[in-house]
Each structure stands twice: as C-alpha cells, then as structure tokens.
Structure 1
Amino acid sequence: IGYRRDLIMKIEQSVVEESVQHNRIVEKLKQHIKNFQKFLTEDYKKACAKVSKAEKAYTELVAKNSEFLTYVSTLTICNNILFKLDAIRGVLKIYRSYLMFVAPLSWRQKHDENLRGKIQSIQFESGEFATDNDLVETLDIDRMVEVAKNELKNPLSARIYFKKPEQMMYLFRTMELQSREYLTQLSKTDAPFRLLQDRIKQLTQAAKQELDYFQYYIDSIYDEIARENYNEAHLQEKFFRILNEAFYYSVASPCTLKLKICIEYVYEQIVGKCEEGHQSLQDPMKILEVMYEDFNLRLDSLDFKIVNQARNDFFAQDLKMMKNAYKAQREL
C-alpha cells in the first residue's frame, strides 16, 4: 500500500511538473506568436512602402521613356531631313558636273576648276565606283555635316553656261540627230562589215593552215638537224676510237717509243746531242737518211781492194774478240 501511495505521489508530482513546463512552453509560444505577428506587420508596412516607391519609380520611368521616344523620333526626323538634304546636295553636284561637262571647252577652261591650266583637248580622268565602305561613310551624320560645312566654307562657283532649258533641249536634239546619223551610217556599213568579218575569218583560217604547214616543215628540219647531230656524234665517236687505238699504237706505243729512243741515240752518236730536242722523228730520220745515202755513195766510190781489206780486218777483230771471250769463259 505504501509503495502504491508513493508511486501515485510521484506520478502526481510528475504531472504537476509537466503541467508547469507545459504552461511555460505555451507562454513562450504565445510570446513568439505575438513577435511573429509584430514582425509580419512591420514587414508588410515596409513592403507596402517599397511597392509605393517602385510604383512611383515606374511612373517616372514610363514618363522618361515616353520623353526618350519623343527625342528619338525627333532625332530620326532630323536625320531623315539631313539625309534628304545630303541627297539633294549630291544630286545638285551631279547636275552641276553634268552641266560643266557638256559646256564648251573654251568656256570650261575659264570657269571649270578641273580644266584650268590644261590643254584644249578632251582629257579623260580616272574615276572610282562607290563601294560598301563609301556607303557606310555616307551614313555617318558627323562626317556628312563636316563635309557639308567644308563645302559651305569653300563653295564652288555658281556659273553655268546654259541659262535656259531650250539650250539643253537644243543640245539633246543635236545629240539625237547625231545618233540618227550614226545609226544610218551603221546600217549602211553593216553589210561591208559582215563581209570584212567573213574575209577576216577566211584569212585567219588560211593563216592557220599555213602555220600548220610551216610547223610541219620546221618539225622536218628539226628531224634533219637531229639526224645530222646523231651522225656527227657517231663520226666523232669513231674518230676518237681511231685516235685512241690506231693513232696511239702508231705514235705512242712502246715499239714506237723504243724506235724513237733508238733513233735519238743513233742521232746523238753520229751528229751530237740536240739540246732543244725534236718535236717529231722526221727531222733526225731525214738527217740520218741523208748521211746514210752519203755514206753509201762514199762506199760505192771506194776501191774494191780497200773494201775487202776492211772486211777482213773487221772479221779478224771480231774473231779476236770471240777468242778472248771464249778464253775468259774457260777460265771462269
């Protein structure tokens, strides 16, 4: 029973503590709810103030935008006016250039700035076509205004040769008559011109055929030249082969060199040594031949007894030399 009473008391005490803690949590929650409501109220006020400021700024922005559009439309109108004025200026310059160009040369030399100080003749001047870059530059308002300002500072002369429209009409009528005369002459010369063209074609064809024939002759001549070159090379090859074989054996072979040495030796023994040397074998051979003929003539003029005596002496000398050689060999 005591344990049960203690347990009930503990439970009641726990309930009381939980109730106290619950009350505290409820009070804190209420306080948080009040603070959150206060925060929402203040934030709503700030948001409303910001929205009012944004609406005011948007209203001012719309007003500024409408004012800007007004300025843009005004600027566009002004730019269009400037473009129109620039186009009119260009057209007027073209008209002035045309009127200056069709005026007489004597008047242009006095009043046209392009012909002052030049000879009295038609002088063609090089021009340039307008490119995309030039068109882009013409859209530049500042450049356009600057060019117009410079032209207004230094304006061109306002003198014009043609004062009345009838003068220009007369000029065009004259040009029309000249064109008609030109067409008449062209119609008259059309048939001869066509005949001339046909004749030119025929002459061109004939010249082409003649050129083909001439080219054929040139090719045949080139073939002959090539054949002659081949024959020349063949003859040259044969000549060098003969020169390197027969001529070598007849002039620079070992036998020829031995003969040359022998002739030079005989020449030195008989005549004497030649200091300058001989360019060929003909000179010493001629000299030896003359001396040999002279020697034979002298031998023919000798007495037969003297010849036999010399022969016997020569044989006796040879016999003596052979005996001496035989004895020397026996002694060895």
Structure 2
Amino acid sequence: MDKKVLLKRISKKSGIKLPPIEDQNDNQIKTIIDVDPDFYTLVDGRPIRPDTSIRKYKKYIKEVALKRTFHGFLLDEILRIDKDIKTERKIYETASKHFSECQESFNKFLADDNNKTIVVMKKSDNLDKELANQIEEHKKANYELASLRSKLQYIDETLQILISFQKFLYNAAPVLWQDNNKLNLVTSNLDIFTLDSDIFCEINVNSVIEKLRELPPAVLYFEKPAQILIIFQSLEQQNLNYLLKTVELRSEKNRFLKSASLLEDLLRNELDFIQEQMHSVQKAIEEDEKREKELKEEFYNILNDKIKYLICSESVLKISNYVEFAYEQLIGPNETQLSTLDQVLALEQEYNSVMLELSAFDLNEVKSIEKIIYDDGAREIKQAKEAAKILKDVDKLTKRLKISYNLKNNL
C-alpha cells in the first residue's frame, strides 16, 4: 500500500491534518549552498560566515520532533489496522463454520419431513374435493331458499293488497252497516313470515298461525261488483247536485260580494268626506285657538300697559284732581260720590251752558275778561310757587331748629 494513500485514510479517520511525508529514498546529498544559497554563496570581497542562527536551529529541532512523532503515530495506526484485520478474520471463520452447520441441519430436516409433507398434501386434496361438493350442495340449498322466499313474499304482498281492498270496501259501506258490523282494521304492515339469513333456522308455525288469526274476518257489505257501481253512480249524482248548488250559491255570492264592495266604496267615500270635514273643523278650531291666544295676549298687554296707565298714572291722577277741583269750584261739593266720568260729563254740560250764555255777550268783552282771568291765574300760580318756595325754606329752618334744639338738650 502506498504511504500517501495510507496517510490520507489515517487523517480522515483521526481528523488530524498531518504534514506531507518526504520520500526517504532521496539519496541526493545536500550541500551548504542547497540549505541556504543566499547566505552561503561565495561573494567577492566577503568571507563565508558559519550558520549561527538560533531561529533556524529551533526550526530544525521542531521538524525532527514532528517527524519522529508522526512516525510513531503511523506505526500505531498500522498495528491497530493489523489487529482489526485479525479480529474480522476470526469472526468470518466462526460465521462460515456456523453457516455450514445450519445448512447440514436443514438438509437433514428436509430429508426427514419429506414423507410427512406428502401425506399432508394427499389429505388436503381430499378435503378440497369434499369442500367443492359441499359448496355445490350449499348453492342448491340457497336456490331453493330464494325460491321459497320469493313465494312467501308474493303471498305476503297479495295478503296486504287484499287487506287494503277490505279496508276500502268497509269504508265505502254505509255508516249504519259499519256501526252494526265493526271490524278492527289493520293499520300497519303485518310481518307474518319472518325469514332469517340462517337457512338452518326453523320457522315458528304457531306464531304464523296466531298472526293469521289476528286478521279481521272476511265480512263485506258488497256481495257483487254492480253494487259498487250503483254507489258510485249515486255519488256522481250527488256531486252533480252539489255542483249545481255551488253554481247557484256562487252567483248569489258574487252579487253579495259586489253589493258589499259597492257598500264598502260608499262607506269609504263617506268616511273620507267626514274625515275631510273633521280636518277642516280641526283646522278652524286650531285657528280659533290661535286667534284666542293672540287676543288674550293683546288683551293682557293692553291691560298691563294702557289701562294701567289710564287708571294709575300720575297724569290721570292729576286730571282726576283737576276734575274734582273744577267740579267743586263750578258746581258744588261731590256729596253724591260721583265718578270722574260723571263729573266730566257734568262739567261738559256746565261748559256748554256757559258757552251758550257767553254767546249772548260781546266777544271783545269776553276776550278782555278771559285775559284778565288768565292774568289772575298766572299771578296766582306765581304766588303759589313763591309760597311753596317759602314753605320749603320754613321747613328747612324748622328742621335746623329741631336739630340744634336736640343738640342742646343732649349737652
């Protein structure tokens, strides 16, 4: 085996990357120049120096140690591989020996059991023939069973049809006859013949007899088919009469519905008219109520503003005082407790009478007298103002005197 191939296998198994191995058969002699040509080459004018580099010395020692360890590692791997080959060879020899023993024992087994297998094969052939015969018999029995089932099913269906016919004829018979001859009619299906999938199962004959006894007796009102035809003819006549009656009633019904629709239209029109009148009346009521509210508000406004002014204002009070004064001066004292309006009317009458009397006098004299009266009135007003002023001054003096008098008393 090549050393390089062995080295690759060992490096793959161990996972260690080893340096390449130099060929030991290289017999070429290395000189000093081959070791370090740049250093040991002869140069003109310079002597050759010995190699005294410590770094290169350490490098050489490391390389020697590495190669020795690698050599020992390779020897260990070679020994391990030889040992594995020996163990595998032993395992192969034991396995081949065991295989040969098993092969010999199997051959002996085949030789011993050959006769037994022949006997078993003969028995299996005989059983196969018997099974084929039994299958044929089973098919025949199944065919007979299917035919019996079809016959029983046909009988059961015909029985159900007959029971339904009996029910129809019984219901078509008169009611009085039904009351006298009451029958318990069958409403559900009667499973008289119940067959299982097991062909060896025996049929209970007693249960079949009991189920047949439960069926209603064959009592019929109709003895001939013509009786049914007569009944159907009478039914057709009754239906025809009913149809004629329905046609007559339908015409009456249509008239009634038409009159009802007309009456409904009239009532609807009347209701619409009444509703319109109600709306108009309601609208008028709303307008009257609105007008009432407006008049009420206006009345209260007048009552609060104008009437209050006409009754309680200062000018009205002055006028009433003037009227009373004029009435007392011209006519006399108000002993009868006349109202202001009556007093004004009395003054108006007095004024009219005075004006009538004055109309008889000369206008120039009247004017001169009016002037004198106005002058006297103006003078009296002036005197009244002066008197009022003097009265105010007197009031002030009295107040001051009272204050001074009170101060003296306090001291």
Instruction: Give TM-score scaled by structure 2 length.
Output: 0.35
> If each structure's helix is expressed as a fraction of its own residues, which one has the higher value?
1
Structure with bigger RCO (C-alpha 8 Å, 6+ apart) = 1
Of the two, which has the highest radius of gyration? 2
